[in-house]
């Protein structure tokens, strides 16, 4: 049984009710969860099945702690988090923004919230993860094979480097669709940077296959008859990775709605996707630097 009682930490409760500022995940503006009054916490609890009487003698943290304890005991953790992170819960804070800003700020706050909670849970050797359907606590001692890249590390403050770092955080918090978006962006940024160094400034409109084709032409990466068959296989494999990145972006990423075509990714698939993209970019940057 997962020890959900680790979530009863006073700082985690404070995050839930909007008392603690969250560190932004992608942007720069400070964020926080919607502020909940005592009466709002009681109403929140009633929606989950617990009746609480609000009085001035009960602090807001105490009320939310009782709601969370009830959900742990009744195995309603998923209902708890789904209600807490539902867009309707953010209505007061996001009302008046255009649709794109509502979606962006909602997703940014949710991700920042989960990451901040995991900052507290790290000392308990667990991590809160979300696979798009179910929340779970996972031991952070669970070894996961992650490919690193010294070449990407050299980029430091470059946008591609930020995507490289944040994509792994998406895996850690269970946001696998966002991993696809960021890895695809990372690959595209490196391709465009390589083309700029060859004074190629075309507008490819996000067509990563065309970008890669242009990159190959300008860096003489075409497969030749006299080339070692093993190298041919490797270069052919890169083509497959590019095709897969483009196709996965269209079918599963969080960049646009895909309706019934969306398929649920598993963590192992997201890690494979991440590592494939990192390997590809590592190779591209070695070509650029030669």
Q: Residue 32 has what DSSP assignment? A: -
Q: Which residues contact 7 (CB under 8 A, 6 or more apart)?
A: 68, 72, 117, 121, 128
144 domain-assigned: no
Sign of torsion over alpha carbons 14, 20, 24, 27: positive
Q: Are residues 105 and 32 in the same domain?
A: yes
Same domain, residue pair 135 and 154: no
Residue 131 and residue 177 in one domain: no
| Token pair listed for 183 | 């890895």
Same domain? 189 vs 127: no
Angle (deg, nearest 10), helices 38-48 and 60-73: 10
Instruction: Assess contact for 218 and 200: CB atoms under 8 A.
Output: yes
Domain with 115 in it: 4-139
164 and 215 both lie in a single domain: yes
- Predicted local distance difference test score (pLDDT) of residue 252: 45
CATH number at residue 252: 1.20.120
How many Å is the Cα radius of gyration of the chain? Answer: 22
Are the beta carbons of 84 and 109 closer than 8 angstroms? no
Q: Which pair of tokens denotes residue 182?
A: 């960021």
Q: Six-digit token pair at 195? A: 């083309």
Residue 36, in any domain of the structure: yes
The whole-angstrom separation of Cα 186 and Cα 91 is 33
116 shares its domain with 159: no
Q: What is residue 255's predicted lDDT score, i.e. its pLDDT?
A: 46
Which of 139, 170, 203 marks a domain boundary?
139
The number of folded domains in the chain is: 2
Same domain membership, residue 180 and residue 99: no
Separation of alpha carbons 241 and 231, rounded Å: 15
- For residues 120 and 13, the answer to whether their CB atoms sit within 8 Å is no
Assess if residue 118 is contained within a domain. Answer: yes
In a domain, 180, yes or no: yes
Tokens of 23: 């560190």
Per-residue pLDDT 10s for the chain (290 aa) are: 468 999 999 999 999 999 999 887 655 577 899 999 999 999 999 999 999 988 766 899 999 999 999 999 999 999 999 999 999 999 999 999 898 889 888 988 988 898 889 888 888 888 888 766 688 887 766 555 666 666 666 665 466 777 877 888 888 778 888 888 888 888 888 888 889 888 988 777 778 888 888 998 888 876 666 667 766 677 777 778 888 877 775 554 444 444 444 456 778 888 888 888 888 888 888 888 77
On whether both 218 and 104 belong to a single domain, the answer is: no
* pTM, to two decimals: 0.53
Q: Are residues 72 and 112 in the same domain?
A: yes
159 and 264 share a domain?
A: yes
- Backbone angles phi and psi of 31, in degrees to 5: -125, 165
**Are residues 283 and 158 both part of a single domain?**
yes
Asked if 172 and 82 sit in the same domain, the reply is no
Among the candidates 139, 165, 200, a domain finishes at: 139
Angle of helix 176-196 relative to helix 159-172, nearest 10 degrees? 170
Q: Which of 112, 139, 166 is the last residue of a domain?
A: 139
Main-chain dihedrals φ then ψ at residue 120, nearest 5 degrees: -75, -40
């Amino acid at each position: 049984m997962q020890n959900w009682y680790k979530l009863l930490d006073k700082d985690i409760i404070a995050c839930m009710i909007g008392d603690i500022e969250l560190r932004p995940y992608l942007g720069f503006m400070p964020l926080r969860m919607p502020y909940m009054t005592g009466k709002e916490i009681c109403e929140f609890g009633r929606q989950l099945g617990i009746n609480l009487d609000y009085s001035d003698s009960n602090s807001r943290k105490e009320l939310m702690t009782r709601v969370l304890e009830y959900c742990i005991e009744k195995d309603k953790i998923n209902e708890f988090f789904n209600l807490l992170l539902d867009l309707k819960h953010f209505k007061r804070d996001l009302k008046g923004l255009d649709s794109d800003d509502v979606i962006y700020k909602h997703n940014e706050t949710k991700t920042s919230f989960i990451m901040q909670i995991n900052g507290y849970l790290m000392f308990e050797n667990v991590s809160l993860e979300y696979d798009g359907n179910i929340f779970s606590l996972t031991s952070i001692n669970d070894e996961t094979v992650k490919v690193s890249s010294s070449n990407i590390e050299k980029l430091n403050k470059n946008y591609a480097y930020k995507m490289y770092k944040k994509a792994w955080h998406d895996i850690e918090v269970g946001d696998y669709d966002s991993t696809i978006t960021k890895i695809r962006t990372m690959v595209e940024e490196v391709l465009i940077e390589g083309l700029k160094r060859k004074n190629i400034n075309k507008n490819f409109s996000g067509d990563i296959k065309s970008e890669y084709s242009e990159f190959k032409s300008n860096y003489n990466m075409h497969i030749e008859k006299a080339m070692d068959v093993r190298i041919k296989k490797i270069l052919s494999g890169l083509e497959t990775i590019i095709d897969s990145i483009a196709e996965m972006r269209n079918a599963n990423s969080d960049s646009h709605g895909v309706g019934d075509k969306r398929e649920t990714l598993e963590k192992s698939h997201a890690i494979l996707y991440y590592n494939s993209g990192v390997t590809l970019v590592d190779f591209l940057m070695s070509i650029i630097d030669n």
